[in-house]
Amino acid sequence: MKALMAFLLIASTPSVWAIETVCKHSVETGRDSVRTNSPVFSDSHDGEVYSAQRRSGGYQVRRHFQDHFAESELLWTSAERIYKLQASNDTLWLLTKSHLLAFEIETKTIRSRYATTTETLTRPHQRAHSFFIQDDMAYVAHGSLGVSQIDLNTGDIVKTSSFGMHQSNGHVSKATDILALSDREFLVLAESVTLSRMAPFAFNGLVKGQTTDLQATSWHEYNRAHAGVIAYARFKKFNDEILINNVGTFHRIKLEKLAQSDRSIIPRYHSLNETDRQVYRDLIG
């Protein structure tokens, strides 16, 4: 719900449509409980934004037109929860806990379904969280299982890597977001799974890796004393910075700081102005 509130702040002009078409579905009340049901949004694509949200009957995938957000079009209803979606040309890519779906926008049908792991998921933190696509390959941040690479031409899982999510000190972290830095490098956002009141702690921060072998090349832990930790966060690359939405608090990290191997991170905390609103809006969901 904090992420949803942040969306309303960022959306500015579209906040009216957000209230009317999204917020009313974001809180479910029962006899003895209240449950939040925040939507997931895609990045803006050709003047359109796509969303996925649980409503009666399943998870509804909708298309919103930026000039008329109050008018959303239902494209498809999924029985599985959708954790991330991304539009590319005529395809909407949908990520569930263990599959990546290629949804054809024009025909409103699933063209392909790709397994993202061969493991049997026994813990919620093992699920797929995020992905990016590059050169017909999908790279998936798969929670505490690490990172997997899927060939979108064959459907094969080419490589998997625990990506250091299980540490020698006995702690466990999970890969919760991933983005491309170049054709050879990617960046993973890692959050703690296991908790401790005193050191050593589970890793919490950013990890750089190589697309060639999915191996981690440098670790950049959040400085707990000065920056706290990241949780339920999303990030994106914008110009020479990494922008992070950390449960409604916005952080900026210069890429040059990640060039220094294994350097701890103290991000700049950032308040939004009008210029920033569109940039950060894609981080909500």
Burial class (CB in 10 A: 0-12, 13-18, 19+), 1: middle
Q: Which amino acid is at 268?
A: R
pLDDT at position 20? 47
What is the rounded average pLDDT for all residues in the chain? 85
**Peptide bond preceding 39 in cis form (omega within 30 of 0):** no
According to DSSP, the β-strands at 185-192 and 58-65 are unpaired
pLDDT at position 28? 54
pLDDT at position 19? 39
Lowest mean pLDDT among 102-106, 124-128, 224-228: 224-228
Distance CA 12, CA 9 (A): 6
Q: Which amino acid is at 265?
A: I
Distance CA 282, CA 133 (A): 17
Quickly tell me which residue has 């110009």 as its tokens.
239
pLDDT at position 77? 96
According to DSSP, the β-strands at 58-65 and 68-78 are antiparallel
132 close to 139: Cβ distance less than 8 angstroms: yes
pLDDT at position 284? 59
Given a cut of 50, is residue 36 above it in pLDDT?
yes
Q: Which residue has the higher pLDDT, 182 or 46?
A: 182
Quickly tell me which residue has 């509130």 as its tokens.
5
129 close to 174: Cβ distance less than 8 angstroms: yes
Q: Average pLDDT, stretch 195-224?
A: 93
pLDDT at position 123? 96
Q: What is the pLDDT of residues 62-106, one digit of tens each?
A: 998 877 767 789 999 999 999 999 999 899 999 999 999 999 999
Contacts of 103 (CB under 8 A, 6+ apart): 61, 75, 76, 91, 92, 93, 94, 109, 110, 111
Q: What is the pLDDT of residues 18-34, one digit of tens each?
A: 434 555 555 555 566 55
Q: Average pLDDT, stretch 115-131?
A: 97
Helices within 93-142 (DSSP H only): none
pLDDT at position 159? 97
Q: Measuring CA to CA, how many Å separate 205 from each of 82, 155, 172, 176, 253? A: 24, 31, 13, 11, 12
Q: Which residue has the higher pLDDT, 271 or 109?
A: 109
Helices within the chain (DSSP H only): 2-11, 15-21, 224-227, 255-258, 276-281
Q: Average pLDDT, stretch 152-159?
A: 97
